[in-house]
Amino acid sequence: MSEPKKLFIKTYGCQMNVYDSERMAEALGGQGYVETKSADDADMILLNTCHIREKAAEKVYSELGRFKGLKAEKPELKIGVAGCVAQAEGEEIMRRQPLVDLVVGPQSYHRLPEMEAKTRAGEKALDTDFPEEDKFEKLKNRPKAKRGPTAFLTVQEGCDKFCAFCVVPYTRGAEVSRPADRIIREAQDLVERGVREITLLGQNVNAYHGAGPNGDMTLAGLIWELNKVDGLERIRFTTSHPNDMDDALIEAHGTCEKLMPYLHLPVQSGSDKILKRMNRSHTAESYLRLIERIREARPDILMSGDFIVGFPEETDEDFQATLDLVEEVKYGYAYSFKYSTRPGTPAAERPQVDAEVADERLQRLQALITRHQRVIQDSMVGKTVVVLFEKSGRQPGQMVGKSEYLHAVHVSDADVARGDLRKVRIKSSGANSLGGDVI
């Protein structure tokens, strides 16, 4: 048998790209590739790229430039660009960087095997279509290899919301939901391979409306179906839009035992003026009332969010409204970004905020968020949580996993294995993790 070829994938951006990278590696597995952790010994390098913020494309070009030496040493090395920069830039990538052999968009990667064969024949391969066929259906025969206790599963892709700052509706296209039976089959497969927790993914995951046995199913319906899968212990989902948090989904947070008490619900800004300009179609008040209802259903739920500071025409007053909203919600986790101009999006045309002002706001917001995060993490001390153990820790005998609330928890010298779910009494709170004893 011939030596397997080696594939190095570098993943940028969101969790959906992590999932896509796994599926691309599996697709190329059929072409005789195994994954390697280093670009140096690879026969194929794939950059799975993100286009969400500025300079993403520039970063890809500079990363590609670094592979020049490798390609000179090993002319048979194939270099590919996948993901959202591939979608946005297409052929331009090969024009600007001739060492690129393959460009594949996020909706076409089921065609990678043919594309790879084309590159081996010395040709360039480009595919940034939004094809009719379902890529997941084409890739349904996943290998049965054992895997870790947690997995991502894409259920929905694309976005019809058109927030004024965002490129996703252009790179990932219109909202498409996968049929429920295929998702359940994939979940069952993952469980057979050792997975105990699944995070359902979608750019707008709670807008999910995939075909079910009796017409379209919502995300809540899908979660209840997954709740029946034997051996699956935990369900999470991300990323949600406030306008798609329907009653059934809120209620599921209170009643569905496998659905974890954690919700990532980005609001982006606390100012109604800015929310309107962002085309968010909700207000700060309606968001706060929504969180109130979610917390009524599940009082201990840990909230997480995303924020953009320095959006065009954001004044000090607008920014203060964001700080006020954060103060009211108290996020267990939150991610904040400086507004980044994306060509082709409506906000790119508006008067921009001074970069220094935006930097200063970002620092202030991050300091506030970090303070809340810390208080919430520290409040776990003395409580008992259930931890899904994922890997060994840095110290000998240490095991690390995640609580229901997604806090990292480590224990020492306990008789626990990867994939075990155990009750842990929390006794300390450190910089990025909690420590405790298995009980």
Of the candidates 13, 158, 179, 202, which one interacts with ligand SF4 according to CB under 6 A?
13
Least Cβ distance, residue 45 to ligand SF4 (angstroms): 18
* Stated length of the chain: 439
Interaction partner, residue 78 (ligand 5AD, ligand SF4, none; CB < 5-8 Å by kind): none
In the complex with ligand SF4, which residue's Cβ is closer, 201 or 274?
Answer: 201
Does an H or E element contain 37, and which?
A: none
Beta carbons of 372 and 331 less than 8 angstroms apart? yes
AA letter at 122: G
Rounded to whole angstroms, the Cα distance separating 330 from 282 reads: 19
* E strand spans, 286-429: 302-309, 333-338, 384-392, 398-402, 408-412, 421-429
Interface with ligand SF4 includes 50 (CB under 6 A)? yes
Residues 6+ apart with CB under 8 A from 197: 149, 150, 151, 232, 233, 234, 235, 236, 260, 388
In the complex with ligand SF4, which residue's Cβ is closer, 205 or 250?
Answer: 205
Least Cβ distance, residue 13 to ligand 5AD (angstroms): 9
Residues in contact with ligand 5AD by the rule CB under 6 A: 52-53, 165-166, 266, 268, 306, 308, 337, 339-340, 342
**CA 174, 180, 184, 185: dihedral to nearest 10 degrees?**
-90
Helix (H, G, I), strand (E, B) or coil at 274: helix
Residues 151-170 that bind ligand SF4 (CB under 6 A): 167-168
CA atoms within 13 A on the CB side of 391: 6
Residues 6+ apart with CB under 8 A from 206: 219, 237, 240, 241, 244, 245, 246, 249
Does an H or E element contain 275, and which?
A: helix 272-277
Least Cβ distance, residue 109 to ligand SF4 (angstroms): 13
Interaction partner, residue 16 (ligand 5AD, ligand SF4, none; CB < 5-8 Å by kind): ligand SF4
Residues 193-222 that bind ligand SF4 (CB under 6 A): 203
User: Is there a binding annotation on residue 256?
Assistant: no
Residues 378-437 that bind ligand SF4 (CB under 6 A): none
Rounded to whole angstroms, the Cα distance separating 222 from 217 reads: 7
In the complex with ligand 5AD, which residue's Cβ is closer, 15 or 31?
Answer: 15
- CB nearest ligand 5AD: which residue? 306
In the complex with ligand 5AD, which residue's Cβ is closer, 147 or 335?
Answer: 335
Q: Which residues are annotated as a binding site?
A: 14, 50, 84, 159, 163, 166
Interface contacts to ligand SF4, rule CB under 6 A? 13-14, 16-17, 50-52, 83-84, 167-168, 171-172, 203
Q: Which residues are annotated as a binding site for [4Fe-4S] cluster?
A: 14, 50, 84, 159, 163, 166
